[in-house]
Structure 1
Amino acid sequence: MIYTVGIDSGSTATKGILLADGVITRRFLCPTPFRPADAINDAWETLCAGLAEPPFLTLTGYGRQLVDFADKQVTEISCHGLGARLLAPETRTVIDIGGQDSKVIQLDAQGNLSDFLMNDKCAAGTGRFLEVISRTLGTSVEQLDAITEGVEAHAITSMCTVFAESEVISLRSAGVAPEAILAGVINAMARRSANFIGRLSAQGPLLFTGGVSHCAAFARMLETHVGMPVATHPDAQFAGALGAALIGQRLRRRE
């Protein structure tokens, strides 16, 4: 049996996957700490516990070069495309929205990378943006689906994190309900993401990955703005780590 580990060291969360002959057998997820290498070490120890010998390790993400014991280091674009195709084999476009960046990946009919766009310069439209606004309104990202269900969105004009936070405070002072503001923020983010996807002339099926994909309200609004079905998956946040583990599996089989 071939065991491989993929670890995605992200700016906000560290994700890990253990594959046994291509089947997910263990998962690891934790917030990325001040020293990202600590989370990589924790993921490695957790995923390898009890195995007779160390599996092949592939690292991806921002922190992929922070430890020296990996067998392979790979960019996250390649890993996310591979992981997405395992989760949803017909996927042609991937929209990944993480803690501090977003990316759109276009795949050909065989699942090979054909084009991509990445935004890591601005936090607007990312999980960090959603987290800041939620905290400003006294709630959490985990509560957004319940809070905004069936609520009419109030228009939000600013997508800059600093200015949007000020706008939210002003709207609350004017008596606008928190749930309407939150629905407006999600709608504005979804519209921005749809425009981002449109820059690649993307085609479906479209898979939504990254931590923000857990927000069903966002997925619904994104579907409206992008004009095509938006699929997600329970393991969507692990797409990068999964792709890294798959790369390791291919390399191990060649040995």
Structure 2
Amino acid sequence: MLTLGIDIGSTTSKCILLENGERIIGTELLVAGIGTIGAEKIMETVLKKAQLSRDDIDYVMATGYGRRNFDPAHGELSELSCHAKGVLFTNPQVRTIIDIGGQDAKVLRINDKGVLENFMMNDKCAAGTGRFLDVMANILQMPINELEKRAELSEIPAKISSTCTVFAESEVISQLATGETVENVIAGICNSVASRVAGLAKRVGIKEEVFMSGGVAQNGGVRKALEKELKVPIKWSETSQMMGALGAAISAYEQEKKRGVLNE
């Protein structure tokens, strides 16, 4: 059985092709936002690489911001459920998931079956999200993937006290103008994101092991700052950004299997 999970996020679309609910046979990622054009494109790309057509796919499950507008999907599911399934599939010992995406941050506490016990979400402000880091990288005129390297060179992280992205932008510009080093400012930015997300995590209640999913998981500066704030080690992987799509593909398999039983 072939199923496909597609996570249409606020800034990036991710896609995973799964065989029999276990083996990943194709992945694709595209910075495209919530419009379905990007999602359609990565779906076609992953199928082409696997030498398959849409007719070969038994079930397509969509998740993420754009899930309700993706016509090729047979079903849609919340990103909370999909991230829980994806992370538990790859890391069965995880009980707390910190997912920092483009426009929101979520903290999930799950049991050994992947069932949500508690969660908190920050989706009212860009502070503490990938968008915040994008804005700051733009101010500093450097690629987003440079932030981690430069943060490691910091001696004394700057204090970014503003909780609003707009005010934090002004604060960063002011600090640079008064002679603060770029490295200290970047470390301060990472600490600011970590502080916001740690506040959510503490309200949810941390249970180890802790895993970080979403695109910001790739930023070591934020990960290390979060570990310091929460006083626990945080696991992640090179595929952290794909966890929602993986969970959607697994859910698609479960749904198709259930449908097959009902039709027998």
Which interval holds the TM-score relative to the shorter structure? over 0.9
Matched, 1:101 2:101: no
> 1:46 is aligned with what amino acid?
T
Matched, 1:210 2:214: yes
CA contact (8 A) 2:6 2:16 kept: yes
Identity among equivalent positions (%) equals 38
Question: Any idea what the Cα deviations from partners look like across 1:131-190, whole Å, max 9, x if unmatched?
Answer: 111110121210012111141311111121100110111111101111110101101211
Separation in structure 2 between the aligned mates of residue 180 and residue 150 of structure 1, nearest angstrom? 8
Correspondence 1:232-251 to 2 at 5 A: 232-251=236-255
* Displacement over 3 Å in runs of 4+: none
Q: Which runs of 5+ in 2 are unaligned?
A: none
Correspondence 1:139-178 to 2 at 5 A: 139-152=142-155, 153-178=157-182
SS of match in other structure, 1:38: helix
| Aligned partner (choices 54, 57, 63) of residue 56 of structure 2 | 54
More helix by share: 2
Correspondence 1:82-101 to 2 at 5 A: 82-101=85-104
Task: Quote the offset at 1:228 in angstroms.
Answer: 0.8
**Equivalent residue number for residue 67 of structure 1:** 70
SS of match in other structure, 2:125: coil
Separation in structure 1 between the aligned mates of residue 196 and residue 158 of structure 2, nearest angstrom? 16
CA contact (8 A) 2:11 2:32 kept: yes
TM-score (norm 1): 0.95
> 1:143 is aligned with what amino acid?
E
Moved more, 113-122 or 159-168: 113-122
Question: Any idea what the Cα deviations from partners look like across 1:187-241, whole Å, max 9, x if unmatched?
Answer: 1211221111000112110100100000012111110101111000111101110
> 1:51 is aligned with what amino acid?
L
Separation in structure 2 between the aligned mates of residue 3 and residue 23 of structure 1, nearest angstrom? 10
Task: Quote the offset at 1:70 in angstroms.
Answer: 1.1
Separation in structure 1 between the aligned mates of residue 132 and residue 236 of structure 2, nearest angstrom? 21
CA contact (8 A) 1:87 1:235 kept: no
Matched, 1:223 2:227: yes
**Equivalent residue number for residue 19 of structure 1:** 18
TM-score (norm 2): 0.92
CA contact (8 A) 2:92 2:112 kept: no
| Aligned partner (choices 111, 127, 130) of residue 127 of structure 1 | 130
Separation in structure 2 between the aligned mates of residue 37 and residue 236 of structure 1, nearest angstrom? 22
Aligned residues: 253
**Equivalent residue number for residue 44 of structure 1:** 43
Separation in structure 2 between the aligned mates of residue 32 and residue 188 of structure 1, nearest angstrom? 26
> 2:229 is aligned with what amino acid?
H
Separation in structure 2 between the aligned mates of residue 132 and residue 8 of structure 1, nearest angstrom? 23
Separation in structure 1 between the aligned mates of residue 127 and residue 18 of structure 2, nearest angstrom? 34
Task: Quote the offset at 1:87 in angstroms.
Answer: 2.0
Separation in structure 2 between the aligned mates of residue 245 and residue 32 of structure 1, nearest angstrom? 20
RMSD over equivalenced CA pairs, Å: 1.3
